[in-house]
Every structure is written in C-alpha cells, then in structure tokens.
Structure 1
Amino acid sequence: MAKVLVIGGGGREHAICYKFNQSPLVDKVFVAPGNPGMSDVATLVNISGNDFDKLIKFAKKEKIDLTFVGPEIPLCLGIVDKFEKEGLRVFGPSEKAARLEGSKVFSKMMMEKYNIPTAKHKSFDNYEDALLYLDKQKAPIVIKADGLAAGKGVIIANTLEEAKKSLMMIMVENQFENAGNKVVIEEFLEGEEFSLLAFVNHDLVIPMQLAQDHKRAYDNDEGFNTGGMGAYTPMSHISDEILNETMEKIMKPMANAMIEEGCPFVGILYGGCMLTENGVKTIEFNVRFGDPETEVILPALENDLYQVIIDVLDKKEVSLKWSDKSYCGVVLASNGYPNLYQKGYEIEGLENVQTLVFHMGTAIKNNKLVTSGGRVLFVVGVGDDLKQAQENAYKEIPKIKCDNLFYRKDIGNKGL
C-alpha cells in the first residue's frame, strides 16, 4: 500500500486528495499545508508548499511513495528537481520545463519556434517600446504580465486608453512586482474557450476530458479576470474532431518541442485553447492541473488516479475512462475578489449540502470554519446532463451561510 504526499492547499488539492483517497492502492494521503476542509480525505501537514527542505525531510521520514505537486509556484521554483535529486518519486515538471507557465515570453517563443497556433503577439522588457507598439494597435487587445500573477496577470483591454493604463500599472507601478518586468501584448481572439489537460511523460500525451472555465468575476463574463469562477465537464458541443486537432497541433507538438529544447515535460500539461473561425489557437499553457477545472474533471474520472500516474511515470499507455454524468461547479468567492477582500467570516450550513464541496480558501478560527482566501468554496453539481448538473449545484448553494460571499449565476450556460 502506497503513501502519497500532495503539495498545496486549495480546491484543486482538495480534489486531488479526494481522488487519491479513493484508490485501493493508497494507504495514506498527506497534504502540505492543506486546509481544514480536506481533513476527511487527507492528513494535514503544517509545512508550506515552498519549504522544500522540510518537505523532503518529511517525505523521507514517512517513506512517501509519490509526491504530487498541485500549484505552479513550487513547480516554477524547482521543487521537482530537488525531490528527484534526493531520490524521491515526484510527478510534475522540472524547473526548466515549468517555464512554459512561469514565463509568458518563453511560452510564446516556444509556440512561435515550433509553429504552434496562437494569437499574433510581441514581447517587451521596456515600457517605452511597449507603449510605442501599443499606439499602432487596435482594441480590444490583451496585455499579459510575463511571470506568475495568480491568474490575474492577463488584462483584456477594450480601449487603447485602458490598455495603456494596464501597461503602466504592470511595468511602471509594478502591480505584479517582478512578474511584470516583461509583458506580452497580443491580439484579442474571439471564439469559444476550452481547457484540455493531459498526463504527459516526454512524448507520451494522454488527454483528459475537455472542461470550460469561467475567468471573469461576474455574470455574462463581466468584471476582472480571476483565477476562475466555475467550470463544467464534459463539453459535448466541442467535437472529437476539434479535440484531435488540439492534440495534433498544440499538445503533442509542445511535448515534442520540450524534448527538442532539452527540457522534456513530465506532469500535467494544460492547454488553454480557443476555437476561432481560423481553427484552434493556444491562449496559454499551464504546467499543472487547472483550478477550478480539476474539481470537475477528477470527479468525472473513473480510473484510479494513483495507478494512472504510476503508469504514466513508467511510460505505459493508459486508457482513461469517464463517467457518463455531467459535472458543473461554482466558486463562492469573498466579496471584492479578485481585488481587495476581507477574511475571517464564519461559514455555516455545510453539513446540509447534499453534493461535493471542495475547500479553496478556508481556515479554523476559534473552533469555527472561516473564509481565508479570495476563492473560498467550490460546489459541484452532478447530473445526467449539464442542465441537471447546473441545477443540482445552484440548489445547494443557498444552504451555505456566510455574510461575505458572492458567486456567478451563469456557470455552464455556454454549454447549454
């Protein structure tokens, strides 16, 4: 029987622990640092996900068989290299391979070099040059901070005035600190967004079922970009033909490109894609499970997650099996998110909810469950079709009592 260590503390990691906990091959699931909502599926370990030395010491002491890294920050800081150097089995990309997410400039360079379809773009490390370039463009236009910004470093500007303000905010006012030292300015693509995640080991690329995230804070895709306000799977209106095109033009070419560049990819490769009138284009690559897509994809996966990962690490072909149900999940976020918000509001009523709930940002304070993040809870509805899954999610949400939460009322509408 195996022992698994999951690194991270949000809704994505709760879903990963939930899935590992179902495995007959897994004896014990640890999560560092985790959050209180996960205690029914994992043992919480009070170590930060960025404290590599303590995590390695813990993994050795507990004789951990597999470490699974959830968030992008430890991956981009090289946690996998450190674990492997100590002879520990870990699933995730090396520091060099994690640049696909850690640097938008590197990611775009790779897409350009290997002819992977994406938006027209230009990268800048100088504010004045970027401003001159912007003057010659048309709105809407997209400005992306080069580094990690918790899903908030992408700004879709509807006017050039707005684009210039965003550029000033990123490059001069340093809103995202060093993440904004460079920017990518790219054309605004129109079409339907979807997320294709895959288990990858070098040239072995095993796609998961498609999911759709909802990035904007408010209904009808209004408000700021967030880390994601809800997701659903499957996307029955995107054909197998489109899925195959995405695999052949985007996912497999990038896996092969990483081998060519001497930094082969191992882990979860996430293709954020858009179906445009000119075919499928890449919006971005991430190097880990998407959050919140994971919270609907993993409940839909019928395979044993531990077995899948061990097989992928051993470079064995894996056939993924999916539930015939639909899954629709809604984020409950702190008022003010993705900008300033307050924490510490009591959450009640979870014991009355008759469906899956993953904890994204909760804590225990004075023996009470309280909010402790921008995104707080994720409620998943399951149904025979998307409409029923959506209804089952939304009918449970009012049972959760908290004075400081909001949520979108239209998650899943695009798939209906």
Structure 2
Amino acid sequence: MSSKYSLNVHIDPKWVKAWSSVPGMKLCFATAVGSGASATFSNVVAYTHNIAPNITIEWGNSYRIAGSTNNFSNGAKFTASTDKIAVKFGSKTEVNKDWSITTNPDDTAPEAGFLFTNKIEVAAVLYREIQNEYKAIYISHVGPMPRNSREKLTPKQKVYVWFSDAFEDETMIDDFEGELKEVEYSGKTTASVKFDNKGTCVTVILDAKWIRQFRGGKMNLCTAFSVTSNYSNVSYNVIATHEACKTGFAEGAFVSPSIYPLPIKFGQAVSLLKDWTMETPNPSESAPSNGWLFINKPSASALVFKTIRNRSMPIYVTSAESTPPPGQHTLIPTGRVLLFFADAEARTSFNAEATNTSTYEYSYIEHPRVTVYFNAHGDWETVSEESSDAVANDAMSVISQRRDHRSPATSEPEKAHL
C-alpha cells in the first residue's frame, strides 16, 4: 500500500467567482472509515481549503488514535481527551482507567486497520496525516462508548470533496452538503476532479399583484422533486427549497434522517440493518439502472437527498403516511420538478394535491434552464427555455408591455432565481 496520495481539484472560474464572494465558503475534504464489520462512515470534515482555481490535497498512511468524551453533534468541533498515540495496522489501542493510552500488535485487529478498546467511557478518534499535519478523519458515530467496548476501524481508499460555508477542519458532520465528488483510490495514488459550470436553474417572475399579496402573508416559492417508488403512488411529498416572500412561515412535518446518510450511485442497493447501521451501497442486479434499491431490515422509510444550491437537501421520503414494514423497494428520480407557492418551508412534507396555488411542473433534464412567469390570474407561463439575468430582464420588459391597463401605483414584476 502506498504511503502517499494526492488529489488535484480544478474549479471552473464560474464557481471560483461565485464561492469566493460567499463568506466562509471553502472546499471540504473527508475520507471514508469502516466501523465494525460492514458500516462505513465519513463523519468528520478532515480538512478545508480556501477557494482557488487549482487545489492539491496530499495525505499519507500514517495514523494516530485518541479518545474523546465529546458527544457526536453535527457541525460541532471536538477535542481529544487523551494523548494522540501513533498506531500501526493490526494493532489494538486501549484507553486505560487512568486516561493513559497504549497500543500493541493484536491478532484480533483488522489486518488493514485498528482495534480500539476502552476501560473508561470514551469515543475513538482516528487521525491521519493530511497536508503534513495529523487531522481527525473519524470519531465513533455513537459518541462515547461504554467501558470495555471494542470498535474496529478500517481506513477505506475513498475520499470526498465538496463546497460548504459551514465547516472548519475537524468538524463533525452527519451529511454531505453541496455537489459531492467521490474518488476511489483502489489501485492508484493520484487523481483529479473538476467542478465544471454545469447545473440547472429556473428563474421565476412574479406579477406585482402576487408580490404584494404574498409578502403580506406567509407564502413562499417552493420546489419539490419527483421520485417514484414501487412502495408508494406518491411522487412528490417533500419540499426541497423555499424562497421566502416574507420572513417567517408556517412549519409542516419536518423531514430529517434517523441515521447518517450515505452517498449512492445509480444501480446500487443500500441496506438498513436491524441495529440501524447502514451497509455501504454496492452494485445490485435488483436495483434499477436509473435509480436505487433500498433494503430495510427494521420498519423504516427511505429518505432521498439531492444537492441543491450547494446543499444536500431531502427531496423524497418513501411514505409520509405510514412507515414501510421490513422489506425492499426501488427509488427512481424522474428528472421532474414542481414549482408552487405555499405557507410552508424546505425539508417539510406536503401534499402536492393541496397546494395554496396552481403548480408548474417541468423536466429539468430536458430543460435545464428555464424562465417562467406567475401571472396576475394565478397561472404559470413558460417565458423562455433559458435562465439568466439578461433573459429575465428581457422577459420582465415584455410582460410589463403587454399589461394594457396598469395604474401608476403598480410596481414592476419581480424575479427570483432557484
């Protein structure tokens, strides 16, 4: 196994310009670590880098382990409660009653990993050499473990990079945010990834009548993404984003994961085990080529996330009405999105048949950039199959000209980018 690895990250000028203007926005880096027999986690932002056109991240196979009394909390930093001790593959590291920490070769430790045990209640923290410093890459996902626990830690040949303005080095995370790049290092030591200028966008123009009315209430411009499942006939049931017409809105049933979400690719299956740990997604002949197979040993719903505005947002839950019994079901994103106005917020469940206004549905696969108009009658119109400030300004000019009877007090239509 190589002792040195590197990742070259190339960022399109579009994103360099966009993210450089956001306070605190950085490129985040995490690695995968196996815990126990089958679960894999990436629950620590190991390293962050300021935005630049080209970034190189290097790391090695030198490790250290410590114990921590910090409970797991998404977005929080943590500290080691013991010394950090250098460890080698095939060793057992133990935190003793006097808070000392020792390590020795052990036949029960993973050949390409470590065994952590504890005489006092602490979590395991695994450090790896990144950019010539030892950075935390994993903390026990259950938090401090009871005395005499055993946790097998196996570093995986997989890393992740994404953008976020919410994290610093060595921050705990329960989910990735942003456009995630996953890189597998089996059989190689160097790799390159590029964040290009691709993406979908919709510009919504509101008639002045609705601007005044919606701002006087609690209405938001909402989006939802369609996912089909052989368990449910409902394809839209979670509000993915909202654009506030006024600060403050009514809350619906909040949708949040019960466990750590895992990245997944088309054609893969993921299993939720009885102890509520997740198996690493793997290719499966039973999974649809354009979707996924969710296998749940306990009674549980599948929750699907999508990257929107550089955030990982829930877009679909298998069933908002009842929790599926143990079994398996498919999940297939349709490439369609729904626009509507509602007194609701993102990450909440909703009924697509009972929205406050009419809805606008289109395929973001066929039309990645569109401009639409919510007119004075409460109907949606497609203005252009392009989306930009210039297109929106031209469209607003045309819309204003075709309003034959406009009082002097009537304001111009407004636009919102999603």
TM-score (norm 1): 0.26
TM-score (norm 2): 0.26
Could you say which structure has the higher helix fraction?
1
Structure with greater strand share of residues? 2
